Structure 1
Amino acid sequence: MTDHGLEQEMEIEALQAILMDDIKEIDPSESGLKTTSRCFQITLSPQDDDLDAANSTPVQLALIFSHTEKYPDEPPLLNVKSLRGVKPGDIKILHENLAEEAAENIGMAMVYTLATSAKEWLHEKYGQNALDDAVDETAAAVDDVIVPHGEPVTVETFVTWRERFEAELALERAKLMPESALAAPKDKKLTGRLWFESGRASVKGSAVVDDESEEEEEIDFDDDFEDDEEDMLDHYLAQKSEKSLEG
């Protein structure tokens, strides 16, 4: 007749000798198990204790067990909980895996075997190699992202570009227009078109200074200023094209 109690005591002694500080007896009320029998908790982490602490993963779980009356001829009561960093979904998967393995080891002391399997699973899931793979995947995903280059277009940068463009265009137009077209009687106000063609237009200002009198002239913009600007641009581009052909 098998002495289940004796086998259980021998297993506890063996576990304490092997695991030392990583195994401790806990109160049944803290175990999460429906029992009043003795309960023990084994602390597991992905790395071995002799590894550099700086390289260790901040992940730990607790394998909690309690012997049933007929253990090892029946599975022990098992519970798994995260002490640090293990996802609830992973805890559930691990618990199911350990329950299946316990059923396969009926008739022999199995707690150390279950603890070893849990540690290996934890190492594969949360160990340094697993973390390195996750980092590599993240880096690869970042490499696949196309990052646009160049200065983004904003209202301010567009306005600045527009002002420079208009100023340069006005200078080019002034070079192309004959002097007679720019001459205007002193008693006659410049139209918007002639004012812009003269190259004396200020991008932001609404008045110009006459070189001779150094007095401000009042600008009379005509209603067709925008249409005239398009005509002038066409004229400028045509002149440019002719010069290119002649050259």
Structure 2
Amino acid sequence: MGKEEQVEEREVLDSIFPDEITDISDTEYRISIQLDLPDDENGDEPSEPPTLVLHVRYPDDYPDEAPMLDLSPPQNADPHPHFSVAADKEELLRGLQDTIQENTGMAMIFTVVTTLKEEAERLVAERRAAVARAREEVLLAAEREENKKFHGTPVTPETFTMWREGFLREMEERQQREEEERLAELKKARVKEPVKLTGKQLWERGLVGKIDEGDDDENIPLEQVEKLKIEA
């Protein structure tokens, strides 16, 4: 009975995987399984999706006894950043145990292939998502650093006091510099304050009659007096 079921299943598999299945013997064959993956938006992956090869060998009592399974990569396969048959083999084979137990007594290889393919695609999807999250975190960290340039220090009583002291010190230094610059300019131009004569000095110099009565004799500049002397 087991032999008949094996031959029947093998014929069905030929019709399902005409190009993917290769016979090794009457009870042993291998099936090439190519994963179906969404397009890689980042361009980090090979143009061809990864492929794994499932080796199947029937024991005499299959399907009442579990098939003997193994996995290998195809020859000369390009490495894939998110999938490796050598590294993922044990996990993938363990993932088939429930499927095998649930289907014991029935032809199960098509179900095994389907489960294996889905599990491998899940691993790739999870790893892609992890890489995308890592990239997103790097971008967010860079954005946070950039945003720090546009945010001032939070105002607290302590920071305000420090700012006020610095501001007052800066204003005092600025005023001092401006005063020094003004004095330097005055010294450079040799500017002197006009000398003012008292009423007595005006009288002694004979200039009393030359000044209008409305003028305050205490505030007559020496320059004006000298001019009056010349005109007199």
* Shift in CA distance, 44/135, structure 1 to aligned 2, threshold 3 Å: same
Aligned pairs for 1:63-212 (under 5 A) are: 63-83=54-74, 84=77, 85=80, 86-87=83-84, 88-126=86-124, 129-130=125-126, 133-146=129-142
Distance 2:51 2:88 in 1: 12
- Read off the aligned partner of 1:139 and give its amino acid letter: R
Matched residue, 1:45: 34
- Read off the aligned partner of 1:18 and give its amino acid letter: I
Q: Is the 8 A contact 2:59 2:68 kept in 1?
A: yes
Count of residues in correspondence between the two structures: 142
Q: Is the 8 A contact 2:95 2:119 kept in 1?
A: no
Q: TM-score, normalised by structure 2?
A: 0.52
Distance 1:145 1:57 in 2: 33
Q: Is the 8 A contact 1:46 1:57 kept in 2?
A: no
Matched residue, 2:8: 10
Q: Percent identity at matched positions?
A: 26
Distance 1:99 1:16 in 2: 24
Larger Rg: 2
Q: Is the 8 A contact 1:45 1:122 kept in 2?
A: no
1:104, distance to aligned residue in structure 2 (A): 2.3
1:132, distance to aligned residue in structure 2 (A): 5.1
Matched residue, 2:225: none
> Per the alignment, in what secondary structure is the counterpart of residue 96 of structure 2?
helix
Distance 2:73 2:137 in 1: 30
Q: Deviations over 1:32-79 (max 9, x none)?
A: xxxxx632111112218xxxxx99653111111111100011101111
Q: TM-score, normalised by structure 1?
A: 0.49
1:103, distance to aligned residue in structure 2 (A): 2.2
1:144, distance to aligned residue in structure 2 (A): 3.5
Q: Deviations over 1:100-147 (max 9, x none)?
A: 321221110001000000111122222xx5565245213213213448
- Read off the aligned partner of 1:138 and give its amino acid letter: A
- Read off the aligned partner of 2:136 and give its amino acid letter: A
Q: Is the 8 A contact 1:82 1:91 kept in 2?
A: no
- Read off the aligned partner of 2:95 and give its amino acid letter: N
Q: Cα RMSD between the aligned structures?
A: 3.3
Matched residue, 1:30: none
> Per the alignment, in what secondary structure is the counterpart of residue 106 of structure 2?
coil
Distance 1:61 1:6 in 2: 28
Gaps of 5+ in 2: 38-44, 147-171, 183-232
1:242 matched to 2:231: no
1:245, distance to aligned residue in structure 2 (A): 6.3
> Per the alignment, in what secondary structure is the counterpart of residue 61 of structure 2?
coil
